[in-house]
Structure 1
Amino acid sequence: MATAVELLRQGRRDELWKKYCGFLDLSLEEFMRIQKRLLLEQIQLLSNCELGRKLLVGQKPTSVEEFRETVPLTTYEDYAPFLLKKRENVLPTKPLHWARTTGRSGEFGYRFKWVPVSDATHHRSMRYGLAALILASCTKKGEVVLEEGDKLLYNAAPRPYASGESMYGLAREFPFKFLPPLDKAESLSFEERVQEGFKLAFRDGIDFFAGVSSVFVAVGERFAEASRGIEFSPTLLHPKSLFRLGKALLKSKSAKRGMLPKDLWTLKGVVGSGTDTAIYSHRIHYLWGKRPLGLYSATEAGFVAVQAWNYKGMTFVPDINFFEFILE
């Protein structure tokens, strides 16, 4: 099957859209057919390992209805004895990698959680990650403005956090130019990473910005504050940087305000993760000139749902998690 960049090089943008964003056209029946197949595949895998047999209480359901009747609800506490010690021998398959969460995990008192990420979950999540960038940069169905070498500002925690793993996954999915480069970014603190990314962006530009929405605001406001006292470092003396800065100064003067990130860069797309995207949407648009496309993902679940180009609600993705909606 052709990769995204191969489809792009061959001018097959319609096929690229269908490959990555075609899930938006699934009917309810088609979506549920995929969901049921996914659940039964997972039951088959789990029934052959120690952790799975514990979770399935010795049963092997053959339908969604039987699964709901026989398998109890679980929390991370049920998995903790196995996962906190990274016991790969109890899992159905060897994980591609282990991801960790941030901070304290609820009432159980874990400082953080370790989560095994399978090859299938990772690669499907990366496929939808690229879909999110396509959707964030289009204005209508079927439009693909993604280009090989588009520049993506690195705004994520390093590995083994899931967001750091996602940057490497995206790099394998599509040849973005990361600012700063991934191998260098991981050795830098967050502050250093942001500074280095902006240094490169002054010269090379930015096409995409993806990460936590509250961080977009903090970075944008910090930039606006710093722009009031710009010092001409060697980076800014590059002809491309000077030209970009000159245009931005004219824009901000014309608008009778301080310089903002949107004066320097015209972004193709902004993708915001986290439950605060809707809260910060207007502020991000003001600072960066682009409304953030919301997505929901989690370390434990991978990619869950994403908005479309119309920014109305979110659409679940069908083939990573089996969804259950429980009435209160």
Structure 2
Amino acid sequence: MTFEEKLKSCSAAEIWQEYCGFLDLSMEEYMGIQRRLLMEQIDLMSRCALGQRFFGGDPPRTLDEFRRRVPLTSFGDYADVLLTRREEMLPAKPVVWLRTTWEGGDFPAKYAPYTESMLDTYKHNMLGAVLLATSSGKGRFHVKPGSRILYSLAPMPYATGLFPDLIEPELRVRFLPSVREARKLSFGQQSRRGYKLALQQGMNMFFGMSSVLYGTTRNLEQMGHSSQESGSRLRSILGISPRMLWRLAAGRYRSRRDGKPLLPKDLFRLDGFVCIGTDSSRYKDELEAAWGVRPMELAGGTEPTCLGTETWSKNGLVFFPDACFYEFIPEQEMLRNLADPSYKPHTYLINELVAGQNYELVITVLRGGAFLRYRVGDVYRCLRLRNPQDGLELPQFEYVDRIPTVIDIAGFTRITEREIRKVIEMSCLPVADWFALKEYDDNGHSFLRLYVELRAGARQSPALSREIIREHLSVYFRYYDGDYKDLKRLLGIDPLEVTMLPTGTIARYEAASGQKLPRVGAPREAVLDLLHRPSAFTSGEGDAGCR
């Protein structure tokens, strides 16, 4: 039966148990599933050339042996196979290949193969997430066929593009715009078309990247504000339906009565609100205030598939037991390894974690996936080991950020030392030294802060002001990085800020501290020390401080 047929013929309890029953697992039961599926994956990998690369002719026979013998891996360990799509070397035949950015890599993209079994698991877990997105408590959900879904996620071959293809055969829904139309449009065109259709027809669910949802919210608020001046003009332009026109009129009346702006919650009644992407936690409060519904967060990615979801309480992610086998590198181990790549960090299993600690995620993709003990580059905080209030005996997590050597801005672009060096080289600016951090504005939204030193003598040029350098580098970032360009085009933001340092500041700091300052992701305390140490700004260039 399809999911829609089950909605008609099965009880709510039966449907909940099938798709969300993993939330009732004990930790022992959860680990039992993890171990069983891992051993099945090891067996599949042992029969293929890619697996033999890691196993040799003697595959691991236990979990402990697997963790002891197989090294932690990165995409470079698979690049020769996956970039050329050598299916004969894989543990199972791929049905589809997905892609994402390879930050700091030799090629602009990474590719990940998805088997039929992986897609079945992905679909099953996504349907569970749909139930949870509309739930008000354990076992209580509101999913109805024919729902209108504003879909604001990147299309295929990106991982988020799988959602429509997997859901439509199972549940009759109306994507705004339709999948067929969306595939003829760019991501930006797709988003604008979806917003227009939602204003015309209404919508029941909203799926999207948190940063894009925030941009959409601002656009809808602006449309609502302009409509107060000319409601008839808005109707003629957008072809708005009588129902939506009524909501607009009622919202406009309340707005004037209460002296408050017209918000999306005045126009739409959402059954479910789902967000994904980095910095989601920083957008949730604003999105809830605007829409009247708190977004439910999903976690995943190209390599790990859909790996976790929040519950009806929307206060922490639970990882699906059948998507990946999970290991965790404690933050201090991760930082030690970044400082000394020869150091081999220890990993812990999901039943060995400490609440309140940050961990870098390591995955082995199950169901015929290609990745073994793979460092995704994502950092999660273990919020709690169990949640008695919701009846959960499993840990819950919060996404923190990418690892310190990668700067992720709004989920769109991932910037590394390599990209920044390339942009500075292309710009031909007289930059002597630099370092970069991810920082946040007063609203909690992320941006890239680039601290720059110019070469001796260049500081005297009036043409090289901080703003001129910022504009110059922004042009080259947009030219070199298409994802960075999308930040401006889709969200209306240019996330670069430049701070000028006196010539020689970084070198003097490193000499005084005896430590090399990382060019990307420097420790916050080191940066504060650098900026507040008076001796660091004594230079022959006559500079009194940073700007």
With normalisation by structure 1, the TM-score equals 0.93
Quote the offset at 1:234 in angstroms: 5.5
The answer to whether 1:322 aligns with 2:325 is yes
Partner of 2:135: 138
Letter in 1 for 2:297: G
Q: Is the 8 A contact 1:236 1:242 kept in 2?
A: no
2-structure distance, mates of 1:274, 1:176: 23
3-state DSSP of counterpart to 2:112:
strand
- Report deviation, 1:19: 1.0
Q: Distance in 1 between matches of 2:240 and 2:109?
A: 45
Q: Does 1:179 align with 2:176?
A: yes
Q: 2:118 aligns with which of 121, 132, 141?
A: 121
Q: Is the 8 Å Cα contact of residues 207 and 269 (structure 1) preserved in structure 2?
A: yes
Contact 1:98-1:116 within 8 A present in 2 as well = yes
Among 272, 277, 280, the alignment partner of 1:274 is 277
Structure 2 unaligned residues grouped into runs of 5+: 228-233, 334-547
CA shift in 2, pair 1:315/1:237, >3 Å: closer
Match in the other structure for 1:18: 17
Q: Is the 8 A contact 2:298 2:317 kept in 1?
A: yes
In structure 1, distance between residues paired with 2:71 and 2:312: 38
Q: Which has the higher contact order (CA 8 A, sep 6+)?
A: 1
**Which amino acid is the alignment partner of residue 173 of structure 2?**
F
State the match for 2:84 in structure 1.
Answer: 85
Alignment match of 2:310 (pick from 285, 288, 307): 307
Which amino acid is 1:127 matched to? H
Partner of residue 190 from structure 2, selected from 190, 193, 199: 193
Query: What is aligned with 1:170?
Result: 167
Aligned residue identity for 1:254: R
RMSD value over aligned CA atoms?
A: 1.7
Amino acid at match of 2:91: P
Deviation at 1:100, TM superposition (A): 0.5
Do residues 285 (structure 1) and 284 (structure 2) align? no
Change (3 A) 1:66 1:222: same
Are the aligned partners of 1:293 and 1:311 in contact in 2 as well (CA < 8 Å)? Answer: yes
Listed as ranges, the matches of 1:141-152 within 5 Å are: 141-152=138-149
Q: Which structure shows the higher strand fraction?
A: 2
Question: For structure 1, which segment, 115-124 or 296-305, has the greater mean C-alpha deviation from structure 2 after superposition?
Answer: 115-124
Q: CA distance change for structure 1 residues 325 and 191 in 2, over 3 Å: closer, same or farther?
A: closer
User: 1:236 matched to which residue of 2?
Assistant: 239
Q: Which residue of 1 aligns with 2:253?
A: 250
Q: Counterpart amino acid of 1:162?
A: A
Q: Is the 8 Å Cα contact of residues 307 and 315 (structure 1) preserved in structure 2?
A: yes
Cα deviation, residue 55, structure 1? 2.4
Distance (whole Å) between structure 2 residues aligned to residue 198 and residue 26 of structure 1: 39
Identical residues among aligned pairs (%): 38
Residue 196 of structure 1 aligns with an amino acid whose one-letter code is: R
Distance change in 2, residues 1:29/1:237 (3 Å): closer
Alpha carbons 2:244, 2:267 under 8 Å: kept:
no
Question: Could you tell me how far 1:235 is from its partner in structure 2?
Answer: 4.1
Asked if the contact 1:59–1:70 (Cα under 8 Å) also holds between the matched residues in 2, the reply is no
Deviation at 1:16, TM superposition (A): 1.0
On the 8 A contact 2:2/2:169 being kept in 1, the answer is no
The equivalent position to 2:104 in structure 1, one of 104, 107, 123, is: 107
TM-score normalised according to structure 2 size: 0.57
1:212 corresponds in structure 2 to 209
What displacement does 1:326 show? 3.2
Label 1:188 to 1:107 Cα distance change in 2 as closer, same or farther (>3 A). closer
Alignment partner of 2:262 out of 259, 271, 281: 259
Amino acid at match of 2:61: T
Distance 2:32 2:248 in 1: 53
Hey, which bits of structure 1, 4+ residues long, moved more than 6 A? Answer: none
**Shift in CA distance, 223/202, structure 1 to aligned 2, threshold 3 Å:** closer
1:152 and 1:207 in contact (8 A); partners too: yes
Q: 1:276 to 1:237 in 2, by over 3 A?
A: closer
Question: What's the offset of the Cα at 1:11?
Answer: 4.9
What is the rounded CA distance, in whole Å, between the counterparts of 1:5 and 1:255 in structure 2?
A: 42
* Structure with greater helix percent: 1
Shift of 1:320: 1.3
- CA offsets per residue over residues 21-65 of structure 1, 9 Å max, x none? 111111111111111111111111111111111122332112101
Residue 376 of structure 2: aligned partner: none
Which amino acid counterpart does residue 38 of structure 1 have in structure 2? L
Tell me how far apart the structure 1 counterparts of residues 3 and 258 of structure 2 sit (CA, whole Å): 39
Pair 61,222 (structure 1): closer, same or farther in 2 beyond 3 Å: same
**Of the two, which has the highest radius of gyration?**
2
Instruction: Name the structure 2 match of 1:73.
Output: 72
Deviations 1:248-291 (A, max 9, x none): 32233334223221111011111111231111110111122211
Query: Aligned to 1:244, what secondary structure does the other structure show?
Result: helix
Q: CA deviation at 1:80?
A: 0.2
